[in-house]
Amino acid sequence: MRSVAVVGASLAGLSAARALRAQGYDGPLTIIGAERHRPYDRPPLSKDFLAGRIGEADLALEAEGEDLAAEWRLGVTAIGLDPRDRRVLLDDGTSVRADGIVVATGAAARSLPGTDGLAGVHTLRTLDDARALRAELTGGRRLVVIGAGFVGAEVASTARGLGLEVTVVEAAPAPLALALGAEMGAVIASLHGDHGVRLLCGTGVRALTGNGRVDGVLLEDGRRLPADVVLAGIGARPTTAWLEGSGVEIGPGGVLCDAAGATALPGVVAVGDCCTWFEPALGRHHRVEHWTPALQRAATAAATLLSGGTAAPPPARAPYFWSDQYDVKIQFAGHAGPDCTVTVEEGDLASRSFLAVYRREGQAVAVLGVNQVRQFTRWRRRLDVVTTA
């Protein structure tokens, strides 16, 4: 392994580069990033950064004085991968050849069809997205958030704190119903009502209205919501189109990897939101779009690359994610499904401070904590033990 290219310069890519150096790789290292920014932390974009409580310097992921002895190619986008010599083709007409490649190109926010060129319509995935949205969130304006997932709910919370009139539209019966189940999703939905946010569930969006700039959202049920600003929080798709024809196998959830991050093309591994790793505990591939797996799996992917694909899979751990909404910390770990029963083990729903455990055939498989950090941490450790066993 005489040279390595990391394609993607966000958390997963930076973590992989760090892991390569930590594991003894001292050869040429090229880090390619489509954005012109140095690596930055994304979770605060919908919260503290959007609210103006922190600045861009506070988002930096690199430590002061950190030097990976890497060549940084920022502001250029990978458009292809030549499998014959593992050459990454870039949109500026240049290319980077490497013995080993880490695919860490992440995911791109889905946009609403037919909204190109309509001012006031936003997505939130990048620092530039957050800059543009923050400039429009001024008190007294009317914000409509389409999608009550994590990003949509966090932006709604932030905007309400800034004094905006906020409406959230969700096609599902409750926010986060797929991740948390309908019962707990309904509990999380009540947070919006507690803080004066209007939540409309079970209806989709037919179209946006406006001449040059958005002025309303037309719902499938015929209602029209006045809007000065619209955020589309309708998910993200893996950034994998550049790998077509390369021999890297792509599935609906992104690049298909084995349990240690190896792809179908020798010398190429993948990590982060662009890929789906095989989960032995589930017996299938599973994509986890959250901060923690992007950080944790980077070391395994680096080891797989340096070992020629013989690295051991990482210890099984329950997937974990968190969200901060309206000064409430929501934490979830594990794999829940519609076949699970849910019981509240600590606190109570009315106080918005509780811990709920999901069980399948009597076995705890997931846990949800709402303002229950200490109890949640204990249950998360139990799940890790069960998952490993």
User: Kind and range of the H or E element at 6?
Assistant: strand 4-7
Mean of pLDDT values over 308-315: 79
The percent of residues above 90 in pLDDT, for the chain, comes to 79
Residue 347 is part of which domain span?
Answer: 327-388
Q: Which of 253-257, 273-277, 287-291, 342-346 has the lowest mean pLDDT?
A: 287-291
In this structure, the answer to whether residues 30 and 76 fall within a common structural domain is yes
Spatial contact of 54 and 44, defined as CB atoms under 8 Å apart: yes
Q: How many domains does the chain have?
A: 3
List the CATH number of the domain containing 372. Answer: 3.30.390.30
Residue 389, CA distances (Å) to 296, 317, 354, 360, 384 in order: 19, 10, 27, 16, 8
Q: Is the pLDDT of residue 387 over 70?
A: no
Q: Is the pLDDT of residue 291 over 90?
A: no
Helix (H, G, I), strand (E, B) or coil at 158: helix
Name the one residue in this structure whose structure tokens are 């790998």: 243
Q: Is the pLDDT of residue 389 over 60?
A: no
Quote the pLDDT of residue 156.
Answer: 96
Quote the pLDDT of residue 385.
Answer: 59
Considering the domain boundaries, does residue 258 fall inside one?
yes
Residue 385 tokens read as 């033990």
How far apart are the two ends of the chain, measured CA to CA in Å? Answer: 35
- The per-residue pLDDT for range 141-160, each reduced to its tens digit, is 999 999 999 899 999 999 99
- The per-residue pLDDT for range 183-223, each reduced to its tens digit, is 898 898 899 999 999 999 999 999 999 999 999 999 999 99
Considering the domain boundaries, does residue 186 fall inside one?
yes
Q: What is the DSSP string of 110-143?
A: ---TT-TT-BTEE--SSHHHHHHHHHH--TT-EE
The percent of residues above 70 in pLDDT, for the chain, comes to 98
Quote the pLDDT of residue 284.
Answer: 84
Query: Higher model confidence: residue 17 or residue 387?
Result: 17
* 337 burial via Cβ count (<10 Å: 0-12, 13-18, 19+): exposed
In this structure, the answer to whether residues 76 and 188 fall within a common structural domain is no
In this structure, the answer to whether residues 192 and 243 fall within a common structural domain is no
Q: Is the pLDDT of residue 237 over 70?
A: yes
- Cα 276 versus chain centre, distance: 13
Mean of pLDDT values over 264-281: 93
Number of Cβ within 10 Å of residue 249's Cβ equals 12
- The per-residue pLDDT for range 346-360, each reduced to its tens digit, is 999 999 999 999 999
In this structure, the answer to whether residues 98 and 189 fall within a common structural domain is no
Considering the domain boundaries, does residue 358 fall inside one?
yes
Helix (H, G, I), strand (E, B) or coil at 362: coil
Mean of pLDDT values over 246-256: 95
List the CATH number of the domain containing 164. Answer: 3.50.50.60
Single residue among 276, 306, 336 that ends a domain in this structure: 306
Query: Higher model confidence: residue 314 or residue 322?
Result: 322
Q: Is the pLDDT of residue 324 over 50?
A: yes
Quote the pLDDT of residue 388.
Answer: 46
* CA 276/CA 284 separation, integer angstroms: 10
Quote the pLDDT of residue 386.
Answer: 54
Residue 104, CA distances (Å) to 12, 116, 157 in order: 6, 27, 30
Single residue among 232, 257, 281 that ends a domain in this structure: 232
In this structure, the answer to whether residues 225 and 137 fall within a common structural domain is yes
In this structure, the answer to whether residues 116 and 187 fall within a common structural domain is yes
- Cα 185 versus chain centre, distance: 19
What confidence tier does 94 reach under pLDDT thresholds 50, 70, 90?
very high
User: Kind and range of the H or E element at 194?
Assistant: helix 182-194
Considering the domain boundaries, does residue 359 fall inside one?
yes
